Amino acid sequence: MLGFRQMKTGYTVIAGFLVASVLCGAGYVIYQRGYETGSQSERKDWKQKWSERDIADKSAQLEQEKKQRNEELRRQKKHRKLSIMLNRKNKKPWLMPLLLMMLLTGCAERLPVSGVNSQPVRQAAFPQMPPEGRQPPRPQVCLPTCTKSLTAAREKSLSMLMQQQAPGESANGHMKR
């Protein structure tokens, strides 16, 4: 049998291993808790930093969107002003050619004929229009009576353009709608 001394030495070794393992386990548990606590506090710090940064980013983005919205509104307002000004200037652009045509036919001056190397021109070979179809001769100078007749002619043409006409019969005999 084993002696008492040998047993005592074996139990001492086992007890030493047991104490060493308990101390190692306790040290590991303490280390893990400290690590978790540190990482949680660090996570909280980073979460707080990121939330502050997110708030700053959102406020900067809102400010930028507000500036862009104001710029777009300003641009639209400027565009509206320009379109209103253009509409005022161009209310009746179709009247301008009509007025120009009336002025040219009624008040145009005849060009002076130069006497140098001018040869007589023969009349056209086709028959002349009857006097009812001819235009009156153009005056040499635009007189107030000419202006008066032009004004009357312009008003007459405008009233004719503005009148509503009843539907007439077309060339093939059907009624227009």
- Give the residue extent of every domain in the chain: 7-89
- With beta carbons less than 8 A apart as the criterion, state whether 105 and 137 touch: no
pLDDT, tens only, 53-75 = 999 999 999 999 999 999 999 99
Percent of the chain residues past pLDDT 90, beyond the cut? 27
Residue in the structure block whose two tokens are 């028959």: 127
pLDDT at residue 30 in the model: 93
pLDDT at residue 143 in the model: 61
The C-alpha atoms of residue 116 and residue 172 are separated, in whole angstroms, by 57
The C-alpha atoms of residue 77 and residue 86 are separated, in whole angstroms, by 14
pLDDT at residue 69 in the model: 95
The C-alpha atoms of residue 97 and residue 73 are separated, in whole angstroms, by 38
Max intra-chain CA distance, the chain: 165
The mean predicted confidence, pLDDT, of the chain is 78
pTM over 0.95: no
pLDDT at residue 86 in the model: 77
Closest CA to 102 of 134, 159, 148, 163: 148
3-state class (DSSP) for residue 122: coil
Task: Determine phi and psi for 146, rounding to 5 degrees.
Answer: -65, -45
The C-alpha atoms of residue 41 and residue 50 are separated, in whole angstroms, by 14
- With beta carbons less than 8 A apart as the criterion, state whether 176 and 168 touch: yes
